[in-house]
Amino acid sequence: MGLKQLVIDAWSALNFKPIYSDDRGMPHRRAFPEAAASWVPAADERRLAAYKLLAAYDNNMAGELAEFRDGPAARERREFGDPSMYIEAVLAHLLGREQRIVVPGAEHADGEESAEAAAAARVEQLLTTWAKDELLTMRVVQCERKAVSLGDGVYLLAWDPAKRRVRCRVYDPGFYFPVLPEDGDADFPTRVHLAWELPEDKARGLKPRLRRITYELGWIGPATASGITPDGRPVRAPVLTEATDDTPAQPTLGRGDTVDPTSGMIVRQYPWNDEPTPYTCYLTDATWDLEDLKGPHDVDNLPLDAARFGTGADGEVLDRLDLYADFVPLVHVPNTIPEAEEHWGQSSLLKPLQIFDEIAGTDTDSSKASATTGSPLLTVSGRPASNKQAAMSIAPGRIIEVGENGRMDVLNTAPMLAELRNHAEHLADRAATVARLPAVALGTTDPSKVPSGYALEISLGPLDALIGAMRLARAHKYRLLLKFVQRLHIAGQHPDWTGITPLPAEYAFGPYTPTDKAAVLTQVTEAFTAGVMSLETAVRMLRESGWPIDDIEAEITQIQSRRFEQARYLADATGSTDAVGEYLGIDIEPDPTPPVVQLPPATDPTSNGDEDPPRGSRGNES
């Protein structure tokens, strides 16, 4: 027997479980046979076993899993769904009441603003339409539940020519095998495998198999086309020019590819890049019979000569198929911010898991104690007068005969049961404290016992820190996902995306804490009236507090269309009828030009023109 080894990694909080960590720090082989498969890298064995153990807690099957080591007695463990309840609570607060896609600057587009704002509004509209068609909200819930419960989630994006849109799929993190550098210094892995075993299908004559889908960034090579080997295996082969007497057959370039005269490398200009790049992403989809995987092979170096390559819906053989994209279309979502130079997140169950074991043990003891409380033990003393021993059983209406000075005593186990229940409540509070989920977040607090809104806000402090850290770990992942969606639509030449330039977009989670709508309305009204808050910010705050506002831009337009007093101030300040009409959202016809007043010509009394001179009475004339 070797010396005991201490392993500290992202899943070392599970080392207290003997079935997970033996003397060598490795999981029990019979309980976790998937993690011990020959093709699974040794570095991933503990990770896969941790996923299965956490999933067992989530599905009330931890006792059944422990049976592999502890025997049938482990199945008596009572599991009432506490881990699953905590997962659902964390998930609900993480996602918030609603989620939406936001492109910065889109809220300022109203038809007359800058071209940048109009472009942002257009991209936001296209992404929102795609999200509705692809049921993105449901995909996010699926992935985030895996991330919260297991520690990691995985999105896969792929262009679907039939549906003319990008498809989004969620994979179990147990299928995800990135090839990470030894020093851990990599923003994104350049080679990623999705691998899982397929069971035997006797009806179709199929043996147990291993399927592996690989995405790899590599140098752009010559063009290839689907072909078949002499033994009938589909492969991809280089496309060659026709040979002549003077020139042998030469490899050809793919569409849009050129040779850089300086480096001699094949480069490609992608519509989302400013300069040509020599990189592209290759897709390989292959299947192996498990019986053919002999020798020291893992998921990254399986023998390609024993592989059977798949074929896409368009007939292309998936053997290093050029995807015409310079990125790997997978997005790994960790539940927590990984440690420095680490890749994996941690489950929200890891820290309070030992407390959940204590709760399960207390619930098991309570179930046993309740049996003696409901059917108590009786002791009877004294020989019956009839000198006959009656069967000692209790039933309604039964009479038990005792002798002189006889007595019957009842063993009361109710105080012990009450103590067990109090201990269970104490453990539940302790688990909530460790998980940073206050009672108000779990819905176990009596609202009438909350002294004030300020006290409620203080009690939510740990939850604010928890959700803030979890959303920070996801923020750049969803920006990356939405950037890939834009690029794949452009690469797929979707007509709605013609001429679109990819813009930064965010997947905004909604508020999760209970809010006082009346208080928010008062704050917003006072701030907006005082001129320290814009109308856009005010409407956005009302929407985030739960007011039924579907479209911020449309709401602002409706508000302004009824603010006639403000429109009058605008007219006095600018003197522009067009500005007032634009503010109110209506067309204002200008007043007709008034006619020019025609006045009679002015007369000058000092003029000596042809006017008759003044005349007197002419009385002295002879």
423-468 per-position pLDDT tens digit: 888 888 888 889 888 877 777 666 666 666 556 667 778 888 999 9
Buried b (16+ CB within 10 A) or exposed e, 140-178: bbbbbbbbbbbbbbbbbbebeeeeebbebebbebbbbbb
E-assigned strand segments in 152-311? 152-160, 165-171, 176-178, 191-198, 209-219, 224-228, 234-238, 257-259, 266-268, 279-289, 308-309
Lookup result for tokens 């965010």: 506
Give residue 257's pLDDT band: very low, low, confident or very high (50, 70, 90): very high
Whole-angstrom distance, CA of residue 430 vs CA of residue 423: 10
Give residue 391's pLDDT band: very low, low, confident or very high (50, 70, 90): low
Please list the residues that pair with 152 across neighbouring strands. Answer: 334
Whole-angstrom distance, CA of residue 427 vs CA of residue 424: 5
More confident position, 216 or 589: 216
Instruction: Give the closest residue to 101 by CA, choosing from 470, 549, 545, 503.
Output: 503
Q: What is the DSSP letter of 302?
A: -
Buried b (16+ CB within 10 A) or exposed e, 209-245: bbbbbbbbbeebbebbebeeeeeeebebeeeeeeeee
Q: Mean pLDDT over residues 203-226, rounded?
A: 94
* % pLDDT > 70, the chain: 83
Q: What is the DSSP letter of 343?
A: -
Whole-angstrom distance, CA of residue 342 vs CA of residue 182: 11
Q: Mean pLDDT over residues 306-331, rounded?
A: 93
Query: Which residues, 6+ apart, have CB-to-CB distance to 24 below 8 Å?
Result: 2, 4, 5
* % pLDDT > 90, the chain: 43
Q: For 134-138, 254-258, 288-292, 553-557, which range has the lowest pLDDT when averaged over its residues? A: 553-557
Q: For position 594, what pLDDT does the model report?
A: 65
Q: For position 134, what pLDDT does the model report?
A: 95
pLDDT over threshold 60, residue 478: yes
Whole-angstrom distance, CA of residue 260 vs CA of residue 573: 60
> Hey, what are 28's tokens?
């029990």
E-assigned strand segments in 448-592? 506-509
Give residue 23's Cα distance to chain centre.
37
β 209-219/279-289 pair status: antiparallel
Q: For position 590, what pLDDT does the model report?
A: 62
Whole-angstrom distance, CA of residue 212 vs CA of residue 160: 20
pLDDT over threshold 80, residue 610: no
Q: What angle do CA 156, 157, 158 make, to 5 degrees?
A: 125
Q: For position 446, what pLDDT does the model report?
A: 61
227-248 per-position pLDDT tens digit: 888 888 888 988 988 888 788 8
More confident position, 206 or 559: 206
154-211 per-position pLDDT tens digit: 999 999 999 999 999 999 999 999 999 877 656 789 999 999 999 999 999 899 999 9
Q: For 296-305, 350-359, 381-390, which range has the lowest pLDDT when averaged over its residues? A: 381-390
Q: For position 483, what pLDDT does the model report?
A: 96
Secondary structure of 552-576 as H, E, C letters = HHHHHHHHHCCCHHHHHHHHHHHCC
pLDDT over threshold 80, residue 390: no
Q: For position 280, what pLDDT does the model report?
A: 96
Q: Mean pLDDT over residues 495-524, rounded?
A: 84
pLDDT over threshold 70, residue 88: yes
Please state the pTM of the whole predicted model. Answer: 0.81
Q: For 118-132, 220-234, 309-323, 594-608, which range has the lowest pLDDT when averaged over its residues? A: 594-608
Q: Is residue 297 classed exposed, middle or buried when 0-12, 13-18 and 19+ CB atoms within 10 A define those classes?
A: middle
Q: For position 233, what pLDDT does the model report?
A: 86
Buried b (16+ CB within 10 A) or exposed e, 345-378: bbbbbbebbebbbbbbebbbbbeebeeebeeeee
Give residue 503's pLDDT band: very low, low, confident or very high (50, 70, 90): very high
Give residue 2's pLDDT band: very low, low, confident or very high (50, 70, 90): low
Q: For position 58, what pLDDT does the model report?
A: 94
Q: For position 456, what pLDDT does the model report?
A: 65
Query: Which residues, 6+ apart, have CB-to-CB distance to 567 below 8 Å?
Result: 580, 583, 584
